C-alpha cells in the first residue's frame, strides 16, 4: 500500500429500525483516519453479509445462527401491534394474544419475531415483507406485530400501534465472525459498550514518556537552613517567637 492510498473502510451492516448514528459519530471522532461504511440491509441479508465477509460486523435482530460468530446483546425492544387508527383495538393501551383470536394477524416472510404460537388467525397468503404487510394493515386486511422501532420506521397518519403482551421480544445484537476479531473490531465493540477513548482495548495509543530533560531543567527549590527550619513552626502558628534573655 502506498503512502497516499486511503485505508479500507470498516463496513457495518444494520437492519431496519436500528439506529447506529451515535456509535458512528463516536467512531468518526476517535478514528478519523478510518472511514466507516454503513450497509442498510434486511435481517437475513445482514447475517449473510457477516458470514460472507461483505461486512466486518452487523447490528441485527436475534435469533440468528451463531455458529462461528460472536454476538453481544445490546438491548431488547417492546413488541407492538400495528392497527388502523379507527380500529377497535386502538381504543385500549395494550392487548394480549388471546384478545386477537378473532382477528387476522399478518406474519410477513421477513418476520423478525420468534413466534412459538402466532396470535390471531393467519391470512390466506403471507406478505413478502414488513413494508407490504404495513400496506395491508392500512387496507384493513389484518393487523401486524413488530418491534416498536419498526412500527415507528413505518409510521403513517392512518395507523397507530399498541403494546402487545405475551409476545416474543426483539433483541438487537452486534454480530461478527470469530475469526475477524481485529483491533478495529475491538475498537467498535468498545464504542457500543461505552468504553472511554483511553480504554486499554482496541488500537493501542502511543505511551507518553516523561521528558527527563525538561525535568532536569526545572529550577529546584533551595534547601532550608537549620535556622529556617527552626523558625518554621512558629511562623505557621502565627505566634511571635520569644527572644532569649
- Tell me which CATH code domain 79-168 carries: 3.40.190.10
pTM over 0.95: no
- Model confidence pLDDT, tens digit, residues 4-37: 677 899 999 999 999 999 999 999 999 999 999 9
- Tell me which CATH code domain 10-75+171-192 carries: 3.40.190.10
Q: Which residues have a Cβ under 8 Å from the Cβ of 76 and sit 6 or more positions away?
A: 169, 170, 171, 172
- Model confidence pLDDT, tens digit, residues 213-236: 445 555 555 555 555 555 555 545
pLDDT at residue 206 greater than cutoff 50: no
Looking at the chain, which runs of residues are DSSP E strands? 10-14, 36-40, 57-62, 69-77, 79-84, 94-95, 105-106, 143-147, 159-164, 170-177
pLDDT band at 201 (very low <50, low <70, confident <90, very high): low
Name which of 146, 76, 143 is nearest 113 in CA terms: 146
- Model confidence pLDDT, tens digit, residues 69-109: 999 999 999 999 999 999 999 999 999 999 999 999 999 99
Cβ(112)–Cβ(170) under 8 Å? yes
pLDDT at residue 243 greater than cutoff 80: no
Q: Which three cell numbers stand for residue 122?
A: 393467519
> To which residue does cell 445484537 refer?
173
Segments in the chain forming alpha helices (H): 21-30, 43-51, 130-138, 148-153, 183-192, 212-217, 226-237
Cβ(55)–Cβ(29) under 8 Å? no
Q: Which residues have a Cβ under 8 Å from the Cβ of 49 and sit 6 or more positions away?
A: 11, 13, 39, 41, 55, 58
pLDDT at residue 58 greater than cutoff 60: yes
Cβ(14)–Cβ(38) under 8 Å? yes
pLDDT at residue 209 greater than cutoff 50: no
Count Cβ atoms below 10 Å from residue 192 Cβ, excluding itself. 18
Cβ(13)–Cβ(48) under 8 Å? no
- Please determine whether the domains at 10-75+171-192 and 79-168 fall in the same fold group of CATH: yes
Q: Which residue has the higher pLDDT, 3 or 172?
A: 172
Can you give the residue ranges of every domain in the chain? 10-75+171-192, 79-168
| Average pLDDT rounded to a whole number, residues 139-144 | 97
Amino acid at each position: 500500500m502506498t503512502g497516499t492510498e486511503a485505508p479500507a473502510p470498516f463496513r457495518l451492516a444494520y437492519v431496519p429500525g436500528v439506529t447506529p448514528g451515535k456509535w458512528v459519530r463516536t467512531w468518526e471522532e476517535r478514528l478519523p483516519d478510518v472511514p466507516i461504511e454503513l450497509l442498510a440491509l434486511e435481517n437475513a441479508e445482514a447475517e449473510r453479509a457477516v458470514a460472507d465477509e461483505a461486512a466486518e460486523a452487523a447490528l441485527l435482530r436475534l435469533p440468528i445462527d451463531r455458529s462461528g460468530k460472536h454476538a453481544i446483546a445490546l438491548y431488547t425492544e417492546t413488541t407492538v401491534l400495528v392497527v388502523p387508527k379507527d380500529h377497535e383495538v386502538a381504543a385500549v393501551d395494550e392487548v394480549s394474544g388471546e384478545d386477537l383470536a378473532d382477528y387476522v394477524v399478518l406474519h410477513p416472510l421477513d418476520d423478525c419475531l420468534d413466534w412459538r404460537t402466532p396470535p390471531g388467525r393467519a391470512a390466506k397468503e403471507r406478505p413478502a415483507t414488513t413494508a407490504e404487510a404495513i400496506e395491508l394493515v392500512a387496507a384493513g386486511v389484518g393487523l401486524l406485530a413488530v418491534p416498536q422501532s419498526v412500527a415507528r420506521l413505518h409510521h403513517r397518519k392512518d395507523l397507530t400501534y399498541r403494546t402487545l403482551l405475551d409476545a416474543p421480544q426483539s433483541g438487537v445484537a452486534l454480530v461478527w465472525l470469530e475469526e475477524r476479531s481485529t483491533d478495529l473490531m475491538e475498537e467498535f465493540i468498545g464504542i457500543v459498550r461505552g468504553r472511554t477513548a483511553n480504554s486499554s482495548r482496541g488500537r493501542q495509543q502511543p505511551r507518553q514518556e516523561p521528558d527527563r530533560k525538561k525535568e532536569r531543567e526545572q529550577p529546584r527549590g533551595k534547601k532550608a537552613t537549620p535556622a529556617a527550619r527552626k523558625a518554621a513552626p512558629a511562623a505557621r502558628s502565627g505566634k511571635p517567637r520569644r527572644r532569649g534573655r
